[in-house]
Amino acid sequence: MATKDRRHQEIINKIRKIMKNVGDDILIEGIMPSLEIPKVGYDNTVWSDERRMLTIGNKTVQIGPNSSKKIPTFAQYLVMANAIRKLLDEEMESTIRGMYYATLSTVGDEKNQQKFWSGQDDSDDAIKAIELLTNVPREEFSVTSKPKGMISGPITLSVGGDLIDCNLGSRATSQLIPTNIRDLEIVKVKADFVMVVEKDTVLNNIRKSGFIQKYNAILLTGSGEPDRATRMMVKMLNEKWKKPVVIFADADPWGLGIALRYKIGSESLSYDSDRLVTPNSKVLGMMFSDIYEYNIPKVARLAATQEDLNRANDMKKKPWLQDKQWKRELNLFLEHKEKCELDAFFKYGFKYLADTYLPNKLREAGVI
Amino acid sequence: MTSKVTTEVLEKGTKQVKTILQIAQKQKTKISYDKKAESEFFVDNSALAGFTGERILYMSVRELIENSLDSCEINHILPVIRLRLKLLDGLNDLWTISCKDNGIGIPSEKVPVAVCSFLTSGKYVEKQQRGLFGVGLKMIAAFSTKDTDHPLRVWSKSEEESECYFDLRTDIGTNKPITLFKKNVKNDESQIEGESGFKVEAVLRAKLSPVTKNKIYDYISQTSIVNPYAIITFETDEGKVTFKRRTEIMPYPSKEVLPHPSDMDLKTLKKAILNFMNQKTTLQGILSNSFQKMSNDKAKEIITRAGLPIKPADKYDEHELIKVVNVCKHTKFQSPNTDHLSPIGEKILTVGMTSEYSIILNKETANSGSQTQLSAKILKPALTAYSSRICVVNNRPTIVECGIAYGGDMPSFKLFRFANKIPLLYDEGSDVAREVISEVGINKMGISKKEVKEQFSHVETKSDRTVEYLPIHIFFHICSTKIPYKTAGKESIASEGDLKKYMKSCLSDLYRKVSAQIRRELKLKEDENKLRLYKHYIPFIIDAISESIKIDSKKLSLAFQNLAERYVSGELTNITKQIFPDSNQKRNQMTDKKNTVNNDNGDENNLNKFDKRTSVSKHGNKTKLDKINIHRKITKK
């Protein structure tokens, strides 16, 4: 508890420093205050060869109350910073939605009234800005999101001292990955490797087949776009517990994108890659080439939408996806204009995915 | 079971059909060929003249005002028009409408025919004019006769005549006036104060919906925009408004004009020949005297090309004359004259635009319950501009005039359409002016969609056209000897020939002219928005800071307000570049420049035509950051 207090105090001081600077600009310097925040997005995302992940570049943006657009933003950032300070002060914990409600209010007089936040997206952005400003991840603000990642297998977690055994033996359920990662500890890992899949439906199917017991594996999913806790869990298992990590996602540009979030990171979270990315993980499938190698029946393939094609073309242009393997796969997709979900293997029987496809792929990669 | 029933029914049905057919055959013999009087025809087909149920009062107001204006302008008299519309009998929907003007009046012996007999008009000439058919007043007379037992009361005083009074009704069956009563008015009973004038009072049975009522108000206020030299008083049960005279300048009246040979048809040609009947003129002479752009040589050439023998003009038969018409259709002539048209003109339209009247209904909740009260408000724009094009559309001389009034009191976007000085109020959606406005991009004003939408984000408009976010009034006036109306109702103009092209070039021209001013206005608006934002957001910022650290929040708040004001006024430029870095200085340098006199319509490239008066007054209104209450209550906690 004592260490926590100190860390909290550090963050509170950081926020106070920001407030002090703004106050000084106005009172002492007599200039428009401004917050310098690292720029987040494609044009400030840099591939690091050394760390083998996406990192944030040197570009910054100035947020100050100097344009009609930025006046509200500036106020929003300061209000959010103050709310985070209060949360830490009170030793409380909140979801990002909770922060949205805590700071909800209306602006303006009766004639020109509007909402302080136009939606939760705005307040989420403000939280992100405070992360960037203070260089502190949101977990340390005690701000989390709703858990959505799931884990199953021979691993024991401790959440705030409560032990959770994820190897429930019944094959019937998985554990949610807690998002208050500061309270989370991995106590024991008995698995040989970690398998990440894109969707919870696929995870359920694999778990039910007895895959965990047969291959002594941990199954993990982010239920689509993985949250920060899931990514951190994967990284910890790989780097701290030295377990090989393999990733399976759908054979479409979206799925490939999700798989790569784990392996190389993302543009929108490039500032936090060090905490989130697992460069040693292996994306094993489902490759576009698998559609043809495993001869997925035509009826189980889906036609690519224009959005899919645009996304694939975009991905092809990214400097960090110039690797031959990815280029080949994306070209294959653009050529055939077909995509396929992991669930498509159910066409060959409900156990085909867990009993045949996955073991084949794992064997090829030398994981089993 | 069911099928049986159906067949039975079917058989029954066919039997019935047969009997009906037989009856019809028996009765088909008699058809009577009756001639219908013009008055009866128009009463039966009142929609032709726009007199349909809801619109009767609206059309009556229109016709009366238009007649009055025409009657004044023909002799260059500054119009004074008094219009009254009062409910006479609410149970039976009876209204009294009366209109008095100071126009030339009608000679007393002509009054009954001019008021009551359809298709009697001084307006059957090729010339630009408001009314055309001479139907309006007659329609009022006929409807009054048809629906009520009240006579039409008329006072008229024409040149060198004393004032006379009539009680009239129309004999609808014969298109003839019935004079119930007639007298010379003595001085002490006189209704007409000036040298000449005309007053009519009629009782009509009509319903007046709120929509139509607003159309009447719109009609009158828009009429006053293009006739700012007229005094129009309008009195209803809701009150009385007066549109003052804002200028003494009157447009030159339009002149009668010879038809253009491209418009020639058998009828016009025969009529031309008839006109010269007694003068022993050759066909060549008649052609060159009856049509414009037709020289003697040209006329000769046409007759030769038609292959007609030379003989007295009245000896040609229709088969020969049609050849002349055909040749004319295939011959190139010079474009028709335009000098006979009467545009509104820059000076008059500018006066109208800078003093646009708008009728307001004030809901007064007095002791005796709620009561509406009419009043008129003058809207002052921040700037106006004018542009015009003289052109020929489908061989008809046409003048396109366009005006813009921006900012100031203008509450929102509005399009005004006029055809031969008559406001068009219905069917805006299908009017060519709509298309023109959608097709001319506002980037011609040097502003972007983004800027506009940012500054006017609060504006509610059904349209996604950016220009409709701006507080701008756009005026289009088309004048021509023949307006290409889309429908018989004469409420929207079709995109005929190159009309749209000319309108577009006119509007683009205007956009370019006002670009500098609009940008300046937009900058002012932006400053205003910014100050408002500061006012609203500074308390949040101050709270966030003062809750986090120890600081004198009052002092901080004052310092921030001060900073914000200085920043907006441009004193402080330490952070970012302004979008319009030079406009602040310019704003202060703006002088009170009166509207420059510049009459020529064709002179379009003169950039000094703006009325800048109100730009300055706007500057005076600049919003100041109000005192901010720093002890804002925090609702949460």
Read off the CATH number of the domain in which B325 is found: 1.10.8
Q: What is the pLDDT of residue B50?
A: 76
> In this structure, is residue B354 part of a structural domain?
no
Same domain, B190 and B267: no
B211 touches chain A (CB under 8 A): no
Chain A residues with CB inside 8 Å of B575's CB? Answer: 31-32, 34, 62, 64, 66
Question: Which one of A23, A65, A112 has the shortest CB-CB distance to B545?
Answer: A23
Contact B575 A32 (CB under 8 A): yes
Q: What is the pLDDT of residue B394?
A: 74
**What percent of chain B is helix, strand and coil (3-state, nearest 5)?**
40, 20, 40
The nearest alpha carbon in chain A to B636 belongs to A102
Contact B563 A32 (CB under 8 A): yes
Pairing verdict, β A245-248 and A282-285: parallel
> In this structure, is residue B574 part of a structural domain?
yes
B569 CA to chain A: closest CA distance, Å? 12
Contact A68 B536 (CB under 8 A): no
Same domain, B147 and B78: yes
B545 touches chain A (CB under 8 A): yes
Provide the β-strand partners of residue B472: B406
Q: What is the pLDDT of residue B581?
A: 35
Nearest CA-CA partner of B284 in B308, B261, B303: B303
- Hey, where are the domains in chain A? 2-33+64-144, 150-364
Burial of B74 (C-beta count, 10 Å sphere; 0-12/13-18/19+)? middle
> In this structure, is residue B497 part of a structural domain?
no
Q: What is the pLDDT of residue B371?
A: 64
A265 CA to chain B: closest CA distance, Å? 34
CB pairs under 8 A between A and B: 98
Question: Which one of A27, A79, A82 has the shortest CB-CB distance to B556?
Answer: A27
Chain B residues with CB inside 8 Å of A34's CB? Answer: 575
Please, where are the H alpha helices in chain A?
2-24, 70-89, 96-102, 120-134, 200-208, 211-215, 228-239, 253-263, 273-276, 288-293, 306-317, 324-336, 352, 358-364
What H or E segment, with its residue span, contains residue A150? strand A150-152
Check whether A17 has a pLDDT greater than 90: yes
Residue B367 CB contacts under 8 Å (≥ 6 apart), including other chains: none
For the record, the structure tokens of A316 come out as 């092809």
Chain A residues with CB inside 8 Å of B541's CB? Answer: 22, 65, 74-75, 78-79
Chain A residues with CB inside 8 Å of B544's CB? Answer: 19, 75, 78-79, 81-82
Q: How does pLDDT run across B520-548, given as a tens digit for each residue? A: 888 888 888 888 889 999 999 999 999 99
Chain A residues with CB inside 8 Å of B549's CB? Answer: 16, 19-20, 23
For the record, the structure tokens of A328 come out as 């080949």
Residue A309 CB contacts under 8 Å (≥ 6 apart), including other chains: A334, A337
> In this structure, is residue B340 part of a structural domain?
no
| CA separation for the pair A227, A232 (Å, rounded) | 9
The nearest alpha carbon in chain B to A109 belongs to B536
Count of the separate structural domains present in chain B: 3
> In this structure, is residue B386 part of a structural domain?
no
Residue with token string 């409408």: B97
Question: Which one of B536, B544, B575 has the shortest CB-CB distance to A108?
Answer: B536
Check whether A350 has a pLDDT greater than 80: yes
Q: What secondary structure does DSSP assign to B143-180, as a single string?
A: HHHHH-SPPEEEEEE-TTS--EEEEEEEETTTTEEEEE
Alpha-carbon torsion angle A146, A152, A154, A155, nearest 10: -10
Question: Which one of B541, B548, B574 has the shortest CB-CB distance to A75?
Answer: B541
Question: What's B154's domain CATH number?
Answer: 3.30.565.10
Contact A23 B454 (CB under 8 A): no
Same domain, B103 and B181: yes
Nearest CA-CA partner of B442 in B423, B462, B463: B463
Tell me how far CA of residue B488 lies from CA of B131, B399, B537, in angstroms.
14, 22, 56
Pairing verdict, β B383-393 and B369-379: unpaired
What H or E segment, with its residue span, contains residue B306? helix B296-306
Chain B residues with CB inside 8 Å of A71's CB? Answer: 530, 533-534, 537
A170 CA to chain B: closest CA distance, Å? 47
Question: Which one of B536, B576, B636 has the shortest CB-CB distance to A66?
Answer: B576
The nearest alpha carbon in chain B to A69 belongs to B454
B569 touches chain A (CB under 8 A): no
Question: Which one of A19, A67, A116 has the shortest CB-CB distance to B548?
Answer: A19
Packed helices B318-329 and B296-306: angle between N→C axes, nearest 10 degrees: 120
Contact A32 B526 (CB under 8 A): no
Burial of B482 (C-beta count, 10 Å sphere; 0-12/13-18/19+)? middle
B559 CA to chain A: closest CA distance, Å? 6
Residue A251 DSSP label: B
Chain A residues with CB inside 8 Å of B636's CB? Answer: 102, 105
Distance of CA A89 to the CA centre of its chain: 27
Same domain, B61 and B186: yes
Using only the alpha carbons of chain A, give its radius of gyration.
23
The range of the structural domain enclosing residue B578 comes to 523-620
| Cβ pair B628, B538 in contact under 8 A | yes
Same domain, B201 and B274: no
Contact B575 A64 (CB under 8 A): yes
Same domain, B55 and B166: yes
A19 CA to chain B: closest CA distance, Å? 5
Nearest CA-CA partner of B83 in B99, B72, B105: B99
Contact A78 B545 (CB under 8 A): yes
B528 touches chain A (CB under 8 A): no
| Cβ pair A224, A173 in contact under 8 A | no
Contact B576 A79 (CB under 8 A): no
Tell me how far CA of residue B270 lies from CA of B281, B286, B377, B482, in angstroms.
14, 10, 54, 21
| Cβ pair A141, A8 in contact under 8 A | no
Q: What is the pLDDT of residue B590?
A: 38
Same domain, B189 and B271: no
Same domain, B135 and B44: yes
Contact B551 A66 (CB under 8 A): no
Same domain, B93 and B180: yes
> Residues of chain A whose C-beta is under 8 A from some C-beta in B?
15-16, 19-20, 22-23, 26-27, 30-32, 34, 62, 64-69, 71-72, 74-75, 78-79, 81-82, 85-86, 102, 105, 107-109, 112, 116
Tell me how far CA of residue A179 lies from CA of A139, A239, A281, in angstroms.
8, 19, 22
Using only the alpha carbons of chain B, give its radius of gyration.
32
Least confident of A56-70, A239-253, B330-344, B504-518: B330-344
Q: What is the pLDDT of residue B528?
A: 84
Nearest CA-CA partner of B262 in B172, B397, B438, B125: B397
Strand arrangement, sheet containing B80-89:
B176-184, B164-171, B152-157, B197-205, B94-101, B80-89, B231-236, B239-243
Q: What secondary structure does DSSP assign to B311-356, as a single string?
A: --GGG--HHHHHHHHHHHHTS--PPPP-TT-----HHHHHHHHHTE
Chain A residues with CB inside 8 Å of B560's CB? Answer: 26
Contact A26 B560 (CB under 8 A): yes
| Cβ pair A48, A54 in contact under 8 A | yes
Q: What is the pLDDT of residue B450?
A: 80
| CA separation for the pair A154, A156 (Å, rounded) | 7
Active-site residue A357, yes or no?
Answer: no
Backbone angles phi, psi at A19, to 5 degrees: -60, -40
Q: How does pLDDT run across B283-317, given as a tens digit for each residue? A: 888 888 888 888 888 888 888 888 888 888 888 88
| Cα angle value A242/A246/A250 (rounded, 5°) | 155
ipTM summary value: 0.84
Chain B residues with CB inside 8 Å of A89's CB? Answer: none
| Cβ pair A249, A255 in contact under 8 A | yes
Q: pLDDT: is A86 or B45 the higher one?
A: A86
The nearest alpha carbon in chain A to B551 belongs to A23
> In this structure, is residue B551 part of a structural domain?
yes
Chain A residues with CB inside 8 Å of B559's CB? Answer: 26-27, 30
Residue with token string 């867990």: A354
Chain B residues with CB inside 8 Å of A79's CB? Answer: 540-541, 543-544
Backbone angles phi, psi at B80, to 5 degrees: -125, 115
Instruction: Return the amino acid letter for B503.
Output: M
> In this structure, is residue B372 part of a structural domain?
no
Contact B544 A75 (CB under 8 A): yes
CATH of segment(s) A150-364: 3.40.1360.10
> In this structure, is residue B491 part of a structural domain?
no
| Cβ pair B115, B152 in contact under 8 A | yes
Same domain, B127 and B202: yes
Q: What is the number of other CB atoms lying within 10 angstroms of the CB of residue B183?
A: 11
Contact B575 A27 (CB under 8 A): no
Tell me how far CA of residue B419 lies from CA of A366, B222, B631, in angstroms.
85, 12, 59
- Where chain B has pLDDT below 70, the residues are 1-29, 120-134, 363-372, 458-464, 488-489, 571-637
- Long-range interactions of B313-317: CB distance < 8 A, separation 24+: B313/B273, B313/B276, B313/B281, B313/B282, B313/B283, B313/B285, B313/B286, B314/B273, B314/B277, B316/B273, B316/B283
Of the residues A42, A100, A101, A348, only one is catalytic, namely: A101
| Cβ pair B553, B542 in contact under 8 A | yes
B530 touches chain A (CB under 8 A): yes
What's the CATH number of domain A2-33+64-144, 3.30.420.40, 3.40.50.1980, 1.10.10.10, 3.20.20.70? 1.10.10.10
Q: What is the pLDDT of residue B48?
A: 74
The nearest alpha carbon in chain B to A79 belongs to B544
Contact A112 B526 (CB under 8 A): no
Same domain, B307 and B198: no
Nearest CA-CA partner of B327 in B392, B262, B283, B260: B262
B476 CA to chain A: closest CA distance, Å? 34
Contact B533 A19 (CB under 8 A): no
| CA separation for the pair B567, B330 (Å, rounded) | 69
Q: How does pLDDT run across A264-316, given as a tens digit for each residue? A: 999 999 999 999 999 999 999 899 999 999 888 888 899 999 999 999 999 99
What H or E segment, with its residue span, contains residue B522? helix B499-548
